[in-house]
Chain A
Amino acid sequence: MSQSIFIQVGQCGNQIGWRFWDLALKEHAQVNPKGIYDEAMSSLFRNVDSKTGRDIDPISNLSINAPSTFIKQHKISDLRARCVLIDMEENVINQIKSSPQGFLFRDDQMIMSNSGSGNNWAVGYSEYGTAYHDTLLEAIRRQAETCDSLQSFILCHSIGGGTGSGLGSYLSTQLHDYYPTIYRFSTAIFPNCKDDDVITSPYNSLLSLNTLSESVDCVFPLDNKALTEICERITQKITKASNSYKDSTLKTKMTNNKEIDLLSLKVRETSVQHTIADSFFKQDINLQKNYPKEFKARPFDYMNNIVSQMLLNLTSSVRFPGDLNVDINEISMNLVPFPKLKYIISSLSPLFTISNNSISSSLRNIDQMFSDAFSKDNSLVKADIKNNKFLACALMLRGNVEISDVRRNIEKLKSQLDFIYWNQEGWKTGICSTPSLGQPYSLLALSNNCSVIDTFKDMRKNFIKLYKRKANVHHYTQYIDQDYFQNALNNVNNLIDEYTSLENAIPPSENEMNHWRKSILY
């Protein structure tokens, strides 16, 4: 089983990571009630023998019927996440440490500093990058050494702030140099272009886009605004069905306890205590009428739940078996036709935060799920993928979905979606038989779509607005050369050009094709 190492950088990255590990743990607890450290788990977690401090090998499927003593040996004893936590502030990491999920992380996986990066890409990239170069790589190397077949790094960061964008992009270049054969994915939280709390975010985001486009295999852009909208929509739905929800929470709590009961002690501890989102949600339901504002003030956990749900779906077929396995490296193979155009829009269906499973937002049927996935509302980026050109599309399915359902829906969607002429049949399907938490089936649609241009255009506009007056540039030039700015601008211009040329691509005439065909063949 191949492994992935999760690298969370900056405040935003760490908060997402926090939710991600919680959900991942729950998901595995659901599948694996005996608490055996199996191969599915080994791709994200490692199991450390508490006495010797060595890693225990996962139990292979071959010997699952082995005697109980053997299983006992493979019980989860000391679970660790395969991840590295990086932040230039102590706050969030300390919170994580003291949280119920804190046992997953050890000090050697955490790299902290006292002073933040001050929302300055250059500080994160240049100053902290060089200063922490050795410790960063050492921590990653230590994680990589515990893997018997490391396949991918999943970088999780925002590109608006300082640490996530600066240090994150620095890290991606280093990973590119030190681990060239290992796939690097970046889950980048794009800033809200309309009204952003950080003034320098246009600089930060374009600068980090520039480095990411060269050093990462795939970028999954996520939009804060789209995420908040999704969360609002979900909660609206939920309030309608709050009565039914009360019953269901009781039920889910019961089942949760029961499920986890068999898991090892530490997992049980964490899960019996309500995770933050759950408790928060409960609070929200109980006190909704009295304190509706409080909920809106801190929607991050919901948003992060959605992001981590998407990440879990992405890695699901690496971890669990299925009819049509999709290895994580197949994603970039199928979705990235040209090395530069690697911005992949993800959309989830059904949309849910973890606690409101199987109630109001539950699906009517499978076909609904497919059509929902391509609607504007379900996309995790503000983009209208339906009315723009597709370069390629991947459907990552989980649960009891059969190939005939997929075929039927692809046929249906084909007429609605506009694919580029040379890739009319650019569909990739993955089916993972293990459903996601609390849902019978779910779909993650990944599309390489021309609608990302809009986001880039907004970012360029904001960037130029600032850069015209050279506002705040002097903060950056302390650390980096001014060429970086020009390069970043050129890069984004190129991207926009390439996407627009594809958007407007017209199939060549038959004569032209035949001529060309002859020229290469004869």
Chain B
Amino acid sequence: MSIVVIQIGQCGNQIGYNFFNTLSNYLNKKENKILNKKFKKTNTSTFTTTATITTKKQNNINNENDDINNKENKSINANIINLINENVNENRNEKSFKKIINSYNKKNTNTTTTTTTYISNDNDNDNGNSNSNNDDESKDKDWNYWKLKQKLYQHFFNLSTSKSYQSSYTLSTQQKKNNDDYFLNDRKKEKEEKIIENGNKMKYLKNNTDNNNNKTTTTSSFNNNNNSFSETNIKIKARAILVDSEKKVIKNIINKTKGKSWKYDENNVYYEQIGAANNWSFGYYMHGPKAYQSIKNRIQNEVENCIDFDGFLIMQSLAGGTGSGLGSYFTEKLRQDYPYASILNIAIWPYQTGEVVVQNYNIILSIGHLYKYSDAILLMYNNELHSICSTKLNQKSVSFQQINSLISDTLINIFLNKKPLNLPTDSNLSSGLSLFNINNNNNSYNYNNTTILLNQLRKFPFLTSQINKQRQINKSKISMRHFIQHLCPLSKFKLLSLKFVPQISGMSEQFNITNWNGLLRSLSQMALTDKSLDEKLNWMITIKKPYHEYHNPFINFISNILILRGENIPKPITNVTKSTSNSINKTTTTITTTTITSKTNSNLLLREQKKNNINNTNTNTDINTNNNTNADTNTNTNTNTNTNTNTNTNTNNNNNRNNKDHPLTIISSNSYFNYQYVLDNLKLNSNLPIYYSNDTYKYSQSAYLISNSTAIIPKLEEVIEKVIQMYKTKAYIYQYNKYGLTNTHFEKVLLDIEQILYDYKTCIPKV
């Protein structure tokens, strides 16, 4: 998923800058961590390998690398093919499918030029694999580094390289292939995560592949360090559009990026000379058309650059003129130009008082307009963030800088990589799936054929659409669109809010003992009582008592998404005891050959073995290579077992320690987050989707709840009350009329807001 960020107005730009800055810092750290980890492992592996073969070592590693690549490809492609097989049933049909493609090629002689090149390329690759050239290798290693970077940065950043490298990229077919592999790898890893999650039975296999992965990457990083691949070759540019009516803020921001590892694209900057004067009308009617016209091409450019375009993220404030006016104009136009892209507005709700006198007018006008065109509006409340900063984070004087960094921290935690976490009740189904996948992993298809198939598939829209559907099942789990789909099931409910824990400063975090139980308990109650502060929560309000307007006014939810971040979430607790035994077994099994099986895994492994054999017999041509890979992996595992077992036992120890305090058990016990969902009877949202990630930022354990709920009602009501009062005296309206906002239009917007309020109010049960 790639997201184009559009920052509008002073507030939006400052938050956007903070967002990108912290994001790049975080990614940098992560990248270094990965590289370091790999480098260490190479060291250990080189130590463990017998010193006698020092001369051959390099070659060996290379061979391994290639072979493993090969194997990986095979397994991945096998997955893909299996997806096809779901349509075409049996393995044999694959050949017939190939025939179709061939015939297709023959028919279309025009297109054959391209397709044949694909085939020939792949053939070359195969040859290249057997006799690996050193030049290709170095490029390959560069490419591996590039891949790593790309993977980390692709969501919000554009990567570009120096010219020489780019040309080599376009020329070398090897890399082309790798590019394909890279995507597949990604998918594969996802599946592997599933394996970790459910398939303890498959631990052995996973371990094998894990080792392979480690091996491949270790060699790459190892050589990276040797070849001194210069990082400066890769330029990181934020995929952002900066729009403001004033020059100052943008110039300031661009200045700040000097010396940073990332940059804004200076072509993506647009500013007017004169500010929008806190006037929605001025921003919308005067600046809007001009600004959009001139930045339109840049937006298109950015969208086209995306690998997998997901949607727009518009950062704006609601109070001022630029953020609100230009923001609503941009959303409207983007919806027209990109009707199928998802648009998420991150709107900063101003303080109740003090920022702008006419802020209530601007809020009403911009929400009224955004509601028509945006997919979802995530509201961030300045005063809530302010109180968090002042009371919980112990900051004596709160500046906008601190509020902005708080916003960007939480945004990063929401948008960074995450995977769905299935509750144990669902585990049967998913484990079944993972079994299925792993079986496919061992299918040894001809590597050559499958890549051709993949390439050919693109020519057949009906097939690709099928596959894409399958892909989307995997991919959509992390995309913004999926988020929005879940959070806004009906188009009349679009206003989202956000609650998060822990609320402690980074310094004191290490002194605090946070446990999941405490975090989730307070988060659940915060959402239920609509308190942003993790302090002085009203525990009297519960969902179990009947709803009462004063005595028990809990919030009614339309939908929720929970995001968890912590180091050892995915390991299901129920299996901990098993996994320990498993790991012990593993050590025994890995040291010996694959034929030796432990007691617990014997059946499964035997099944694996059989399949292996069957496949081997099926594809006679590949037996040799397959055997080679098996042998290689075995040797690898031998060398790496020591380190692996150590890490395994460590994690298991951790698991045991946190056995009782695990989010899965807590949530599945239904003690928290057992909210009433308004749309339950429509069968739209009955469960709480949970996403998790092991990557943590700032906090070692944190939880975020995005919710679409009736909590918005009092806030909107307050604003509309003020607006009506002010509008009755027609105060300030002449300023809006000056730039083209008519009173009838204004009244229409008011009516829209009343409708929104009414819709949300219907969600509250009547007493």
Binding site for B on A (CB under 8 A): 1-2, 39, 60-62, 64-65, 148-149, 151, 321, 323-325, 327, 329-330, 332-339, 392, 394, 402-407, 410, 414, 421-429, 507-508, 513, 516-517, 520-522
Closest to A406 in B: B354
Sample (6) of A-B pairs whose CB atoms are under 8 Å apart:
A2-B273, A39-B248, A61-B255, A323-B399, A422-B731, A424-B722
Given contacts A337-B732, A428-B357, contact A148 B273 (CB under 8 A): yes
User: In the complex, A110→B125 CA distance in Å?
Assistant: 81
CB distance from B441 to the nearest CB of A (A): 53
B728 touches A325 (CB 8 A): no
A330 touches B278 (CB 8 A): yes
A520 touches B747 (CB 8 A): yes
Closest to A1 in B: B247
B 336-353 to A, binary, CB cutoff 8 A, 1 in contact else 0: 000000000000000111
A327 touches B399 (CB 8 A): no
Number of A-B contacts (CB under 8 A): 140
A404 touches B273 (CB 8 A): no
User: In the complex, A451→B274 CA distance in Å?
Assistant: 32
Closest to B730 in A: A338
Given contacts A325-B249, A407-B386, A426-B357, contact A508 B728 (CB under 8 A): yes
B398 touches A64 (CB 8 A): no
Closest to B755 in A: A521
* CB neighbours of A403 from chain B (8 A): 386, 398-400, 403
User: In the complex, A336→B738 CA distance in Å?
Assistant: 14
Q: In this complex, which of A61, A325, A334, A429 has the most chain B Cβ atoms within 10 angstroms of its Cβ?
A: A334
A404 touches B399 (CB 8 A): yes
A149 touches B254 (CB 8 A): no
B279 touches A333 (CB 8 A): yes
Picked from B258, B278, B403, the residue with its CB within 8 Å of the CB of A65 is B258
A410 touches B731 (CB 8 A): no
B275 touches A329 (CB 8 A): yes
User: In the complex, A324→B386 CA distance in Å?
Assistant: 15
Within 8 A of A (CB), among B721-748: 722, 724-732, 734-735, 747
Given contacts A321-B248, A325-B248, contact A149 B735 (CB under 8 A): no
Picked from B251, B396, B400, B730, the residue with its CB within 8 Å of the CB of A324 is B400
B273 touches A338 (CB 8 A): no
A517 touches B356 (CB 8 A): no
A325 touches B10 (CB 8 A): yes
Given contacts A148-B273, A325-B10, contact A60 B251 (CB under 8 A): yes
User: In the complex, A321→B255 CA distance in Å?
Assistant: 13
A325 touches B255 (CB 8 A): no
CB distance from B349 to the nearest CB of A (A): 14
Q: In this complex, which of B248, B251, B729 has the most chain A Cβ atoms within 10 angstroms of its Cβ?
A: B248
User: DSSP majority for the A interface?
Assistant: mixed
B162 near A: Cβ within 8 Å? no
B357 touches A422 (CB 8 A): no
B397 touches A405 (CB 8 A): yes
Given contacts A407-B354, A428-B355, contact A337 B274 (CB under 8 A): no
Closest to B724 in A: A517
User: In the complex, A431→B219 CA distance in Å?
Assistant: 54
Picked from A148, A321, A334, A520, the residue with its CB within 8 Å of the CB of B278 is A334
CB distance from A338 to the nearest CB of B (A): 6
CB distance from B271 to the nearest CB of A (A): 11
A330 touches B277 (CB 8 A): yes
A513 touches B728 (CB 8 A): yes
User: In the complex, A321→B247 CA distance in Å?
Assistant: 10
* CB neighbours of B255 from chain A (8 A): 61-62, 64
B728 touches A425 (CB 8 A): no
User: In the complex, A428→B731 CA distance in Å?
Assistant: 16
Given contacts A323-B400, A402-B399, contact A414 B353 (CB under 8 A): yes
B398 touches A402 (CB 8 A): yes
B277 touches A333 (CB 8 A): yes
User: In the complex, A410→B356 CA distance in Å?
Assistant: 13
CB distance from A513 to the nearest CB of B (A): 7
Closest to B320 in A: A330
A339 touches B734 (CB 8 A): yes
CB distance from B348 to the nearest CB of A (A): 13
B722 touches A513 (CB 8 A): no
B353 touches A423 (CB 8 A): no
Q: List the 4 shortest-distance A-B pairs measured between CB atoms, nearest first.
A: A149-B273, A327-B275, A425-B353, A337-B731
Given contacts A1-B247, A422-B726, contact A410 B734 (CB under 8 A): no
B351 touches A513 (CB 8 A): no
B731 touches A335 (CB 8 A): no
User: In the complex, A410→B401 CA distance in Å?
Assistant: 20
Picked from B358, B390, B734, the residue with its CB within 8 Å of the CB of A338 is B734
User: In the complex, A334→B247 CA distance in Å?
Assistant: 21
B159 near A: Cβ within 8 Å? no
B252 touches A321 (CB 8 A): yes
A427 touches B354 (CB 8 A): yes
CB distance from B196 to the nearest CB of A (A): 46
User: In the complex, A338→B732 CA distance in Å?
Assistant: 6
Given contacts A325-B275, A422-B731, A521-B750, contact A429 B397 (CB under 8 A): no
User: In the complex, A324→B359 CA distance in Å?
Assistant: 14
A404 touches B275 (CB 8 A): no
A327 touches B277 (CB 8 A): yes
B751 near A: Cβ within 8 Å? yes
New A-B contacts (4) at CB < 8 Å, excluding given A65-B258, A428-B355: A60-B251, A333-B277, A333-B279, A427-B353
B754 near A: Cβ within 8 Å? yes
Picked from A321, A324, A516, the residue with its CB within 8 Å of the CB of B728 is A516
B94 near A: Cβ within 8 Å? no
User: In the complex, A119→B536 CA distance in Å?
Assistant: 68
Closest to A325 in B: B10
CB distance from A193 to the nearest CB of B (A): 30
User: In the complex, A258→B694 CA distance in Å?
Assistant: 56
* CB neighbours of A521 from chain B (8 A): 747, 750-751, 754
CB distance from A65 to the nearest CB of B (A): 7
* CB neighbours of B358 from chain A (8 A): 333-334
Given contacts A61-B251, A403-B386, contact A520 B354 (CB under 8 A): no
User: In the complex, A339→B357 CA distance in Å?
Assistant: 16
B 353-368 to A, binary, CB cutoff 8 A, 1 in contact else 0: 1111110000000000
A323 touches B401 (CB 8 A): yes
B302 near A: Cβ within 8 Å? no
Given contacts A61-B252, A327-B277, A329-B274, contact A423 B726 (CB under 8 A): yes
A425 touches B354 (CB 8 A): yes
Given contacts A513-B728, A520-B750, contact A149 B274 (CB under 8 A): yes
User: In the complex, A403→B383 CA distance in Å?
Assistant: 11
